[in-house]
Amino acid sequence: MEIVLAPDAMTACREAAARIADYMRGAPDPVLGLATGRTMEAVYRALVGMHRDGLSFARCRTFNLDEYYPIARDDPRSYHAYMHEQLFRHVDIVPERTRLPDGAAPDPECECRAYEDAIRTAGGIGLQLLGIGLTGHIGFNEPPSDFVTRTRLVELDEETRRQNAEMFDDRWQDVPRRALTMGVGTILDARRLLMVATGAAKARIVRDALERPVTPMVSASALRQHPASTVILDSEAAGLLRLDR
């Protein structure tokens, strides 16, 4: 695993965007795995800036990690709305080539199977962007999540609902209790993983994921079992690391 230390959050997010852009330019048929959340907002801002300077998304296909369940696509708190607002509406991506789990699917199991099939049909994910939750989740893989799990309906931890309350008028009880998420196994199938973590609040869980035992209790520790994973941290998120490997 490669660990990249950046002096601040902005530099960390720009570095992530630069690596995504390199992948997009180098791949004949880029398939990007995307994430949502506060950390990613600066990554997408940087990508939008690069698009204005000529980076094209026209050849890209994208799959997002997760979506609340149930939620309507046009609900402003949905991850569909987030992606539209933060990235898709600003770039030349083809809407039909973007996909998120459907939080309004009447049969979630069927939707999860279809999602896995769609990723496979696209040739698999070339580069998967990831954040890390305070519970150690990647996607919404709350502890414990086996490293072989596939896209599925999950219950969100109270800590995660509290972490994500901002979009719900700071009422964590209004954050949906469930979500559809790629599994840890689905994520590990991506050819490259790129995690970004910034801010002091992430320091403890970053240390647990990177320097404590690899365990299904901390999904992000699975990155250490991947042959091509990179973690980009700002100095605050890296604050508890010993980095003596």
Place of tokens 């690899």: 214
Torsion of CA 188, 111, 66, 35, to 10 degrees: 70
Residue nearest to ligand F6R (CB): 131
Asked if 35 touches ligand F6R (CB under 6 A), the answer is yes
Asked if 176 touches ligand F6R (CB under 6 A), the answer is no
Q: Which residue type sits at 6?
A: A
The window from 34-42, 44-52, 53-61, 183-191 that contacts ligand F6R (CB under 6 A) reads: 34-42
Give dist(CA 115, CA 107) in Å, integer. Answer: 12
Write down the least CB distance from residue 233 to ligand F6R, Å.
Answer: 13
Site string for ligand F6R, 109-148 (x = CB under 6 A): ----------------------xxx---xxx---------
Asked if 80 touches ligand F6R (CB under 6 A), the answer is no
* Residue number, 61 or 137, with CB nearest to ligand F6R: 137
Terminal alpha carbon distance of the chain:
11
Give dist(CA 83, CA 74) in Å, integer. Answer: 11
* Residue number, 25 or 144, with CB nearest to ligand F6R: 144
Write down the least CB distance from residue 64 to ligand F6R, Å.
Answer: 7
How far are the Cα atoms of 33, 118, 168, 238 from residue 160, in angstroms, in the given order? 21, 28, 13, 21
* Residue number, 99 or 137, with CB nearest to ligand F6R: 137
Binds ligand F6R by CB under 6 A, chosen from 6, 12, 16, 39: 39
Write down the least CB distance from residue 62 to ligand F6R, Å.
Answer: 12
Binds ligand F6R by CB under 6 A, chosen from 6, 16, 33, 36: 36
Length of the chain counted residue by residue: 245
Site for ligand F6R in 209-228 (CB under 6 A): none
* Residue number, 118 or 201, with CB nearest to ligand F6R: 201
CB 43 within 8 A of CB 194: no
Asked if 177 touches ligand F6R (CB under 6 A), the answer is no
In 28-102, which ranges are E strands?
A: 31-34, 61-64, 66-69, 98-99
How far are the Cα atoms of 2, 56, 60, 84, 178 from residue 24, in angstroms, in the given order? 20, 8, 7, 19, 32
| Binding residues vs ligand F6R (CB under 6 A) | 35-39, 65-66, 131-133, 137-139
